[in-house]
Chains A and B, each alone.
Chain A
Amino acid sequence: MALKVGDQAPDFTLPSSTGETPGEFQLSSYRGKNVVLVFYPLDFTPV
């Protein structure tokens, strides 16, 4: 895995959906808060 604990998390901005409302998610706009990035393989998969 390329990234290690202590590394700066690469910033990104992606289109998003929250409760079916479209928006945008920018990691750096959450500075001052913890963020849990949950990468998952595919929508509609069981886990």
Chain B
Amino acid sequence: MPAFEADLANFAGYDAQVVGISTDSVPCHMAFQKSLGGVTFPLASDKWPHGEVAKAYGIFPATAAPQLGINERAVFVVDKDGKIAWAKVYDLNEQPDVAEILDALRKIA
């Protein structure tokens, strides 16, 4: 998440809104944002029904650890018409490459 915050101006340059999504609660998101020293993009809570949105995107539960009730780490770029323009599922501990996502946005700009 800090990597996305650091590059937020670059995302805005491609007219892109960033949103983080996990199954954590809103109070948990607030505490997390505070711990990061402020996050200026929204964190959405897919807590109830648990993981329902992640299920709709085909990334719940995480295949490496289904017992944890968490979604995969994954990024979807949704274009201005609401269609998926780019998608990638990462290892749970892998940091998404922000440059690669910006590149995908450049291609649909």
Question: What is the CA–CA distance of A32 and B15 in the complex, to the nearest angstrom?
Answer: 9
Q: Are B83 and A6 in contact (CB under 8 A)?
A: yes
Q: Is the interface of B mostly helix, strand, loop or mixed?
A: mixed
Q: Are B56 and A42 in contact (CB under 8 A)?
A: no
Say whether, besides A14-B53, A43-B28, A25 and B44 are in contact (CB < 8 Å). Answer: yes
Q: Are B84 and A39 in contact (CB under 8 A)?
A: no
Number of interface residues of B (CB under 8 A): 68
Q: Answer whether residue B95 sits at the interface, using C-beta atoms and an 8 A cutoff.
A: yes
Task: Tell me which of B79, B84, B93 contacts A4 (CB under 8 A).
Answer: B84
**CB neighbours of B19 from chain A (8 A):** 16, 25, 35-38
Return the CB mask of B76-109 against A: 1 if under 8 Å, else 0.
1111111111110100111110000100010010
Q: Is the interface of A mostly helix, strand, loop or mixed?
A: loop
Say whether, besides A14-B21, A19-B39, A9 and B78 are in contact (CB < 8 Å). Answer: yes
Question: What is the CA–CA distance of A37 and B95 in the complex, to the nearest angstrom?
Answer: 15
Q: Are B16 and A41 in contact (CB under 8 A)?
A: no
A-binding residues in B (CB < 8 A): 1, 4, 11, 14-24, 26, 28-35, 38-46, 52-54, 56-59, 62, 68, 70-87, 89, 92-96, 101, 105, 108
